[in-house]
Amino acid sequence: MLNIDHISFSYGNKQVLKDITFDVAPGEIVAIVGANGAGKTTLLRILSFVLMQDAGNVVLDGVDPLQLPVKYRKWIGYLSERCPLYEEMTVEQFLRYRLRLKGERALRERRRLTVALELCDLEDVKKSEIKLLSQGFKKRIGLADAVMLHPRLILLDDPLASLDIGHRKQIGTALTSLSAHSAVILAGHEISEMLDWCTRFIVLKDGEIEAFYRTGEFDRAELKHILTSAVSARDEEGEL
Ligand code: ADP
């Protein structure tokens, strides 16, 4: 479904991604893990077509974003790390606005909104101005925005950050149900929680893929140890 083929990217003369190649199938929830600076955000930005790679191809169900950018953008849902929102709007106003911007038909608007609010546990705050809500709520509003139109590919940069444990679990359950129809790729550091519902882990180190792990093929405790070390490697080396 998604083919990522030999992607490389540099900021100036600093190479940040080197020859990244992997495929993602429908039903998969793929976690990109690695120390800070490994290149996770840059990879997600390329997949969401915010940045353009220097070399290599991305193809989603036969569509290359360089050839058909509008179609590609319609097929993806992206939650960026900083999750920009219009804070003076209420949650409901913002999500309705985003639905219209994405071209959803007025007839379907209410249904889309109801499902997204329920999925992300936002019904109780739908009339609240976004600026009055905590970071955890804001993250869930960004997530609702990313998944509202059931995109083929859901890209989430650090979706679990600033969420409490209950909401992390809830997001995991929501993503598992969404993955029936969409592929999901996310970056995150919360290994214990992600092990419960991610189907595959890709370890990035200094812009290169260091390893792939399918969750079902490893003992959970062993995998947790490997992945936790990968995420914290650089911090321990004092390079941050
Ligand atoms: P991660 O998400 O794994 O923390 P990033 O993709 O944010 O990693 O960053 C990868 C590397 O690219 C880091 O060394 C970072 O300093 C560098 N980088 C990120 N954004 C920029 C930018 N706008 N300009 C120059 N270098 C950048």
pLDDT value at position 181?
A: 86
Q: What count of Cα atoms within 13 Å lies in the side-chain half-sphere of residue 123?
A: 7
Q: Does the beta carbon of 230 sit less than 6 angstroms from any atom of ligand 1?
A: no
Instruction: Read off the pLDDT of residues 127-186 as tens digits, 9 standing for 90 and up.
Output: 999 999 988 899 899 999 999 998 999 999 999 988 889 889 888 988 998 898 899 999
- Closest-CA residue to 24 (of 46, 45, 47, 4): 4
Whether 236 shows a pLDDT value over 70: the answer reads no
Which domains are assigned to the chain? 1-75+151-240 (3.40.50.300), 86-150 (no CATH)
The mean predicted confidence, pLDDT, of the chain is 91
pLDDT value at position 233?
A: 67
Q: 94 CA distance to ligand 1 centroid (A)?
A: 29
Specify the residue with its C-alpha closest to ligand 1, atom 25.
Answer: 11
Q: 79 CA distance to ligand 1 centroid (A)?
A: 17
Phi, psi of 78 (to 5 degrees): -130, 125
Length of the chain counted residue by residue: 240
Q: 39 CA distance to ligand 1 centroid (A)?
A: 6
Q: Does the beta carbon of 32 sit less than 6 angstroms from any atom of ligand 1?
A: no
Specify the residue with its C-alpha closest to ligand 1, atom 13.
Answer: 37
For a mutational test of ligand 1's pocket, the pick from 9, 40, 42, i.e. the residue with the most ligand atoms closer than 8 A to its C-beta, is 42
For a mutational test of ligand 1's pocket, the pick from 10, 17, 41, 231, i.e. the residue with the most ligand atoms closer than 8 A to its C-beta, is 41
**Pair type for strands 29-33 and 200-205:** parallel
Instruction: Read off the pLDDT of residues 68-106 as tens digits, 9 standing for 90 and up.
Output: 999 999 999 999 988 889 999 999 999 999 999 988 888
User: In this structure, which amino acid lies at residue 19?
Assistant: D
Q: How far apart are CA 166 and CA 182, in angstroms?
A: 23
Instruction: Read off the pLDDT of residues 202-219 as tens digits, 9 standing for 90 and up.
Output: 999 999 999 999 998 989
- Closest-CA residue to 39 (of 47, 135, 5): 47
Q: 46 CA distance to ligand 1 centroid (A)?
A: 12
Instruction: Read off the pLDDT of residues 25-58 as tens digits, 9 standing for 90 and up.
Output: 988 999 999 999 999 999 999 999 999 999 999 9
pLDDT value at position 239?
A: 43
Specify the residue with its C-alpha closest to ligand 1, atom 5.
Answer: 39
Instruction: Read off the pLDDT of residues 4-28 as tens digits, 9 standing for 90 and up.
Output: 999 999 999 999 999 999 999 988 9
User: DSSP letter at 63?
Assistant: B
Residue pair 76/31 in contact (Cβ under 8 Å)? The answer is no
Q: 207 CA distance to ligand 1 centroid (A)?
A: 10
Atom of ligand 1 nearest to the CA of 35: 3
Q: 141 CA distance to ligand 1 centroid (A)?
A: 25
Whether 234 shows a pLDDT value over 70: the answer reads no
pLDDT value at position 238?
A: 43
pLDDT value at position 26?
A: 86
Q: How confident is the model at residue 230 (pLDDT cuts 50, 70, 90)?
A: confident
